[in-house]
């Protein structure tokens, strides 16, 4: 290569080097510009988000007072916000209440597509298909006090809001008629809104996943039910649990999550009635540790401790009240004969322990006869243990509804109902939590229970109201630039 060529190569190398550096610099400038823009947009969104939270708080305060309006400096950019009057509705059903309330919203949309919205007292942040709750709606549900308060705050008129001073004034309040006392019922709230995902997340966070009864994505609707589920829906599945189900080997193919009302008041009332003499008793068995042959009527026991009670229900129903534990060992409670629709109802204040080889079943006990004849009802504190001492069989209903989520550990199981070893279960279970961790176990739901009506307690007894006090009112406020 001559000297001229070497010179040209050197110059070309320098040019390429400068070009590569320049391209890299431009790339860094573009990336830095994009990063800066993203940070600025995020900061702007957070600023508007706080402005909407403050706006929500001021609207809540104004909705309860008609004396004076309030002002707020709305920190939005030049895009402003839009007030829309009818963007959805809230339907409230329960007791004598069946009302549908229209709701409006205040919306802001950023350059990156993020949408912030105020609706019925809540503030939502929506990005793509994800909706986050920024500020919760003023729904107050107190299970212990059996009360639900829901002031629906909405907006009137349609206008645009620019950055700067905004005036909020109370227009009117419409209290929902008949919405004060709701007896023996739950309350359903159905929200139709493009922010339905946010409402769904709110209901789940406040009262747990079981309150969500339906989500209709096509119609942008979510339905939540507060209060316990209706007793007419009892035993519609093999296992209904309110807290947790741990089915290690997929033995249970009919299971759903849902909350039913604990029977503590009824069970303790029945026990007290036997002690006071208000309830006629046919047999007082004391502690059952031997064999007893029984028929229809009402029988009481202090405890079943390895004994055997055999019932003949050919002449009518029987009730067994156990003010203590049921320790099942061998044939414990069996039905020798029965007529259709005759049942044995067992109400126990203690635990059910079949950790050895206890059997509760309809004879011949070797095959599935009926999951309805034997019905065991326990308090919210009842713990149930099947196994691990050997094969045990249970044929019937087991209702131990509870809101409790922390259970004493027994045989390496910290659930309310423990299915160890290789139990044979035919019927249905309602409890707070259930663990089935034996691959050899046999669990089968009695399909005849699905549409079957089951009376959970004797005639003359009833559960207290699930939701007693309901306070619902629609407050409409006007929001506009000053």
What value does the CA radius of gyration of the chain take, rounded to a whole number of Å?
Answer: 32
In this prediction, residue 14 carries a pLDDT of 46
The 8-class DSSP code of residue 41 comes to: H
In this prediction, residue 183 carries a pLDDT of 60
Residue 16: inside a domain: no
Q: What residues pair up with 320 in beta bridges, in sequence order?
A: 299, 346
Residue 21: inside a domain: no
Instruction: Return d(Cα 225, Cα 215) in angstroms, integer.
Output: 12
Domain count across the chain:
2
In this prediction, residue 303 carries a pLDDT of 97
Residue 408: inside a domain: yes
Residue 279: inside a domain: yes
Q: Do 172 and 211 share a domain, yes or no?
A: yes
Instruction: Return d(Cα 466, Cα 232) in angstroms, integer.
Output: 14
Residue 298: inside a domain: yes
Q: Do 217 and 300 share a domain, yes or no?
A: no
398 within 8 A of 427, measured Cβ to Cβ = yes
Q: What is the mean pLDDT of each run of 10 residues along the chain (482 residues)?
A: 49 46 49 55 78 87 75 78 89 82 89 87 86 86 75 84 84 72 72 92 78 89 84 88 91 88 92 90 96 96 96 96 95 94 96 90 91 96 87 94 90 92 91 88 92 83 72 84 78
Report DSSP letters for 102-154, one per residue.
EEEEEEEE-TTS-EEEEETTEEEEEETTEEEEEE--S-EEETTTTEEEEEEEE
Segment 102-161, tens digit of pLDDT: 999 999 888 888 889 999 989 999 887 788 888 888 888 776 677 778 888 888 877 888
CA dist list (Å): 379 to 89, 171, 284, 410, 431: 40, 50, 21, 18, 10
Segment 169-214, tens digit of pLDDT: 888 888 776 556 566 567 889 999 999 999 998 888 877 666 788 8
In this prediction, residue 178 carries a pLDDT of 58
CA dist list (Å): 297 to 279, 280, 342, 479: 11, 9, 12, 68
Q: Do 242 and 354 share a domain, yes or no?
A: yes
Cα 39 to the chain's mean position, in Å? 38
Segment 239-255, tens digit of pLDDT: 999 999 999 888 898 89
Q: Do 394 and 305 share a domain, yes or no?
A: yes
Q: Do 108 and 200 share a domain, yes or no?
A: yes
Residue 41: inside a domain: no
In this prediction, residue 37 carries a pLDDT of 58
Q: Do 333 and 388 share a domain, yes or no?
A: yes
Domain residues for 171? 56-227+470-481
Q: Do 166 and 122 share a domain, yes or no?
A: yes
Q: Do 441 and 476 share a domain, yes or no?
A: no
In this prediction, residue 69 carries a pLDDT of 79
Residue 11: inside a domain: no
Q: Do 65 and 110 share a domain, yes or no?
A: yes
Helix (H) or strand (E) holding 268: helix 264-276
261 within 8 A of 186, measured Cβ to Cβ = no
Q: Do 381 and 354 share a domain, yes or no?
A: yes
Residues 6+ apart with CB under 8 A from 221: 190, 191, 192, 196, 214, 215
41 within 8 A of 110, measured Cβ to Cβ = yes
**Closest residue by Cα to residue 463 from 231, 277, 204:** 231
In this prediction, residue 143 carries a pLDDT of 66
Q: Do 257 and 331 share a domain, yes or no?
A: yes
**What's the predicted TM-score (pTM) here?**
0.72
In this prediction, residue 12 carries a pLDDT of 46
Residue 320: inside a domain: yes
In this prediction, residue 471 carries a pLDDT of 78
Segment 204-228, tens digit of pLDDT: 887 766 678 889 999 999 998 877 7
Q: Do 199 and 88 share a domain, yes or no?
A: yes
Burial of 368 (0-12, 13-18, 19+ CB in 10 A): middle
């Amino acid at each position: 290569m001559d000297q001229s060529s070497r010179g040209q190569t050197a110059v070309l190398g320098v040019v390429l080097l400068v070009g590569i550096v320049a391209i890299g610099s431009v790339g860094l400038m573009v990336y830095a510009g994009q990063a800066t823009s993203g940070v600025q947009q995020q900061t702007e969104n957070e600023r508007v988000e706080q402005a909407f939270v403050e706006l929500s708080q001021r609207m809540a305060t104004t909705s309860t007072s008609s004396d004076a309006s309030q002002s707020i400096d709305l920190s939005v950019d030049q895009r402003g916000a839009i007030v829309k009057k009818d963007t959805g509705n809230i339907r409230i059903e329960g007791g004598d209440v069946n009302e549908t309330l229209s709701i409006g919203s205040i919306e802001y949309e950023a350059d990156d597509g993020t949408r912030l919205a105020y609706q019925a007292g809540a503030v939502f942040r929506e990005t793509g298909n994800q909706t986050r709750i920024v500020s919760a709606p003023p729904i107050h549900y107190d299970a212990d006090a059996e009360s639900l308060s829901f002031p629906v705050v909405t907006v009137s008129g349609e206008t645009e809001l620019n950055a700067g001073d905004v005036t909020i004034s109370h227009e009117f309040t419409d209290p929902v008629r008949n919405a004060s006392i709701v007896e023996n019922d739950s309350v359903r709230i159905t929200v139709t809104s493009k922010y339905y995902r946010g409402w769904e997340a709110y209901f789940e966070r406040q009262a747990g996943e079981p309150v969500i009864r339906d989500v209709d994505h096509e119609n942008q609707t979510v339905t939540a039910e507060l209060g316990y589920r209706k007793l007419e829906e009892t035993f519609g599945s093999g296992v209904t649990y309110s807290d947790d189900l741990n089915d290690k080997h997929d033995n249970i193919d009919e299971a759903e999550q849902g909350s039913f009302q604990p029977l503590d008041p009824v069970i303790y009332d029945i026990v007290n009635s036997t002690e006071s003499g208000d309830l006629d008793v046919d047999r007082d068995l004391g502690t059952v540790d031997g064999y007893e042959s029984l028929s229809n009527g009402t029988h009481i026991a202090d405890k079943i401790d390895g004994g055997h009670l055999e019932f003949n229900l050919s002449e009518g129903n029987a009730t067994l009240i156990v003010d203590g534990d049921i320790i099942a060992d061998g044939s414990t409670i069996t039905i020798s004969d029965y007529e259709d629709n005759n049942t044995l109802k067992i109400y126990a204040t203690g635990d059910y322990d079949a950790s050895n080889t206890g059997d509760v079943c309809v004879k011949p006990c070797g095959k599935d006869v009926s999951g309805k004849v034997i019905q065991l009802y326990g308090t919210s504190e009842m713990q149930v243990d099947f196994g691990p001492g050997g094969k045990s069989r249970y044929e019937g209903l087991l209702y131990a509804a509870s809101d409790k989520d922390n259970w004493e550990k027994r045989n390496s199981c910290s659930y309310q109902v423990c299915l160890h070893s290789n139990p044979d279960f035919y019927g249905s279970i309602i409890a707070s939590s259930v663990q089935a961790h034996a691959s050899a176990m046999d669990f089968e739901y009695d399909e005849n229970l699905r549409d079957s009506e089951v009376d959970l307690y004797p005639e003359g007894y009833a559960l207290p109201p699930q939701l007693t006090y309901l306070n619902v009112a629609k407050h409409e406020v006007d929001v506009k630039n000053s």
